[in-house]
Structure 1
Amino acid sequence: MSVSLHGLKQNPDKFTKEIPQQVSDAKEIPEMQIHRDEFILLMHPMKPESSQFMQEAAASEYIFSSVVFKCPCNSGNMLYGSVFLMVPAFILLLLGYMVNARTWRLLTGACPPEKCRDCSPRGTCARYCWVLMPVTARASVAPLTWIAVALLNANSYVCAASGNSLIKNLICKDQGQECQNLLFKIPCDEKLSTNTSSEFLRLQAQSQLIGWFLIAIITTVALISTCVSHCCSPVSYLQLKFWKIYSKEEQKLFEIKAKEHATKLAETNINCFFEGTDPAAFHTPSNKDWQKISLLYTFNSQEQYYSMIHKYVNTNRGNSANFEEDGQHPTVLGFVDETDAIDSGF
């Protein structure tokens, strides 16, 4: 802040009034922003991918609560606040399943038309349910973050609680219908919120306490599950690190080679079409070959392979009896089935 001496001599009272005001304005930080930043800092030590999902969900909730959220301040407060709190979280959960490659690797081709009679939804669900557990854990990061940040901001909770019958009976006990009508308007009327500050602050405190308890539970469960999965790992820490590097490099090379192969095949077919010639022999993996390398990875301590492609090429193109052997599905090796080989602790 720069102040000229000439201006100070001409009007000293102006500066003595403005400077404290500017300092006080600079110190005013929205409470909502403080809670959001605290949450992001708290979750910063987590894995990069999970931390990124959390920050995106927290930022989205902050924007929506600031721009979109408008409590109706009537008997629909409970419904509106609950929907704004839970429905976006449910949508984020579904999106988490959709963007996870392991979901589609698990489901694609699980019930082909020729095997519809032998494929029951109940059997398929029971067979793959435990495989989807780590997928669910990762997909839950964004929705739980949305709920936690929304509770810290308290807008949704205050709106929903002001229309809740239990809260109304607790706050407006023996005070008649007028108190209940005023309670509906607390989220929208700043003057009314000031006059009934104790009730308003009570609702905010409840929301923030629930939010912090939820964050504590999420962090504890994430830490315990990560520790358990790593403790039960069939490989050492450095081998696991090497394995992740291998998965990333294999995926990169697979995409490059697949693009080259597809380009050559397309070029051959187009040339034959326009030139009216028969195509030369061009080897392409069969449907069975694709199905074999698309199976979910299983770990076998006797025959260690780093991926299904690695297993395929070392078992006579999947024709060996060793290829059909079942193995374990360690949670810590879930990244093998991810197309991007994401380094995640979940």
Structure 2
Amino acid sequence: MDKFKLLLSFAQKQQATLGFGLVTLITAGGEQIFSAVVFKCPCSSWNFQYGLVFLLVPALVLLIIGVILNNKAWKLFTGLCSRESECACVCDFRGTCVFGLVCIQIFISAAVAPITWIGVALLNGNYYECARTGLANVTLFGYHPCSGKAQPCRSELHLFPCREFPVTVPPTERDAVMTIIRTESQVIGWLVIASIMTTFLLLTCVARCRSPISHVQLKFWQVYTQKENALLDQYTDEHAQKLAERNLTSFFQKTPPNPIVMPTREEWKQVSSLFYYSKKRQHYSMLQRHVETALCDPRRESTMSDGKAPPAVLDFVDGGGAMP
């Protein structure tokens, strides 16, 4: 039991890392199945378009799904057009910068699955082989696959991915050309993976370097965010049940409803808005900010002018969970 609790504690602490790892594994497995079951190169003039669609369109779909499942995206856009003050803020320079920064953070979080798809697909090579054989006159890395091969190689290149299609090029040369193309695909795949990993490492280092808080406080902040989100779901469920029970009791028994204290619409907006970081006041969430300002001292009600967009290291604050 103690080992199970230790494992559960580790999983909760490494929730983001394990989540990204799970997304990567599912995407890689899905690509392998998709390539084996669905994909079949037409071996015609459509090779390039067909291979490119299978390489990029699923990545675009995964990116869109990643944005849809991002909690911060819905915090940003829900009710944005109906709030005049928010729209006005987005239109000015400062608001545009904050809006753009949040959109970049959303895009980076959602890009894990698409990048994994492209990287694994290039290492596998099937999509690239099909697309590359549709470009008979294109030279990559200063070398064409048909260089030094039989004369019909370029004209029959689009038939090479399909073994059932007869060609006049000798089988050994055909295999050599396909090996070169697969090598190109894998080299590009490793370059993409290495570039993305290096960029991610640099961005992480810069974010940590510019962090206004210490490493230990950052760990505490992450734990607090997880606890607050879990308790918020629990309290929301309990209060929704109480309100529903009161309304149904009043309806069926024909009695006046008992008073229940509930947050106002403006208070819901305050705690639902994106987190704004302030050096003057230490608040770990918009909920805490609202409780310690608007409720304790209404004259200090929390507004966007009190803070600025949070540093990249605090991107997890509005992460919460999946789509609300």
With normalisation by structure 2, the TM-score equals: 0.83
The reply on whether 1:153 has 2:127 as its aligned counterpart is: no
Aligned position for 2:254: 276
Q: Structure 1 stretch 208-217 or stretch 161-170: which is displaced more?
A: 161-170
Alignment partners' CA distance in 1, 2:299 and 2:23:
42
1:216 Cα deviation after fit:
0.6
**Matching residue within 93, 99, 107 for 2:63:** 93
In angstroms, what is the RMSD of aligned CA positions?
2.8
Aligned position for 1:301: 279
Alignment partners' CA distance in 2, 1:340 and 1:320:
32
Q: What do residues 28-57 of structure 1 show as CA deviations (whole Å, max 9, x unaligned)?
A: xxxxxxxxxxxxxxxxxx932222221111
Which ranges in structure 2 are unaligned for 5 or more consecutive residues?
A: 1-15
1:129 Cα deviation after fit:
1.2
Aligned position for 1:183: 157
Instruction: State percent identity of aligned pairs.
Output: 38
Aligned position for 2:316: 335
Check whether the contact 2:208–2:313 (CA below 8 A) recurs between aligned residues: yes
Q: SS where residue 315 of structure 1 aligns?
A: helix
Aligned position for 2:11: none
Aligned position for 1:266: 244
Aligned position for 1:21: none
Q: What do residues 244-265 of structure 1 show as CA deviations (whole Å, max 9, x unaligned)?
A: 1111111111111111100010
Alignment partners' CA distance in 1, 2:79 and 2:132:
47
Aligned position for 2:9: none
Alignment partners' CA distance in 1, 2:26 and 2:214:
33
1:139 Cα deviation after fit:
0.8
**Matching residue within 319, 323, 328 for 2:302:** 323
1:122 Cα deviation after fit:
6.5
Written as runs of structure 1 = structure 2, the 5 A alignment for 1:238-277 is: 238-277=216-255
Q: Residues 203 and 101 from structure 1, CA distance in 2 versus in 1: closer, same or farther, beyond 3 angstroms?
A: same
1:327 Cα deviation after fit:
2.9
Q: Residues 120 and 335 from structure 1, CA distance in 2 versus in 1: closer, same or farther, beyond 3 angstroms?
A: closer
Q: SS where residue 227 of structure 2 aligns?
A: helix
Aligned position for 1:344: none
Aligned position for 1:128: 99
1:230 corresponds to which letter in structure 2? R
1:117 Cα deviation after fit:
12
**Matching residue within 188, 198, 201 for 1:220:** 198
Check whether the contact 1:311–1:323 (CA below 8 A) recurs between aligned residues: yes
Q: What do residues 128-178 of structure 1 show as CA deviations (whole Å, max 9, x unaligned)?
A: 111121211111111111111111111101100101143389455799994
Check whether the contact 2:49–2:131 (CA below 8 A) recurs between aligned residues: yes
Aligned position for 1:43: none
Check whether the contact 2:136–2:155 (CA below 8 A) recurs between aligned residues: no
Check whether the contact 2:133–2:160 (CA below 8 A) recurs between aligned residues: yes
